[in-house]
Amino acid sequence: MKKIRVGLWVAAALWVNGGAQAQSTALVQGLRFDVSYSLLNVKNSTSSYDPVGIRVGIAKPLWGAVEAEGLLGMGVQSGKNNLNPALTTEVGSIVGAFIKPSMALGPAVSGFARVGLASTQIKNGDTHTGLSSGLGLNYALDAHMRIYADYTVYKFSDNLGISAVNLGVNYGF
C-alpha cells in the first residue's frame, strides 16, 4: 500500500511539473461540478467491507492545468463483511480538499492525479482524517462535459483505509 501511495505522489509531482503543457478540449478551464457513483472498499485491521456511495465535487483552476478541488461523498448502501456477511458497515460522509493536476493525453482525453486531505465518519461514530491520493482519466464529450473514472485511496491510519473506484460526469463553465 505504501508503494502505491508513493507512486501516486510521484505521479502528481510529475503532472504538476508538466501540467501546463498542451491544452485541449480534455482540459476544461473554469469552474467545474461533478457527480459520481462510488464502489467503496473499507478495510480495517481484521476485515473489509464493500459499501456503495455517491460523490459530488467542485473544482476551480489555480494555474495552468492544476485545480483546487473539494469533494463530498456519502455511503448509500451498507457493505457486507468479507469474513461474516451478516456483519455490515456504512460509510457516513467523506469530505476532502485536494490539489488536482491534469495533463492532456489527446484532443479528448486527459489524465489527472489528486492529492490532499480527507475526513470520514464510519457509522459506528468514529471520525478519521488522513492523506488521500488518486489517479483518473477524463473523456471530453464536448467543450463543457466530460465523463471520468478514477481510483482514490483515503488512508486514515494503519488500521483503517477506504479505496474507491468512481465513475462520473462533470460539467465545466
pLDDT digits (tens, 9 = 90+) for 22-55: 444 445 567 999 999 999 888 877 888 888 999 9
**Whole-number pLDDT of residue 9:** 54
Element (H, E) at 15: helix 2-18
Measured CA to CA, the distance from residue 144 to residue 25 in angstroms comes to 8
Query: Domain spans of the chain?
Result: 2-172
| Residue that wins the pLDDT comparison between 74 and 111 | 111
The model carries a pTM of 0.79
Q: Determine the CATH number of domain 2-172.
A: 2.40.160.20
Reported as a single tens digit per residue, the pLDDT across 71-93 is 999 888 887 777 777 777 777 88
Measured CA to CA, the distance from residue 55 to residue 57 in angstroms comes to 7
Reported as a single tens digit per residue, the pLDDT across 1-24 is 555 555 555 555 554 444 434 444
DSSP 122: E
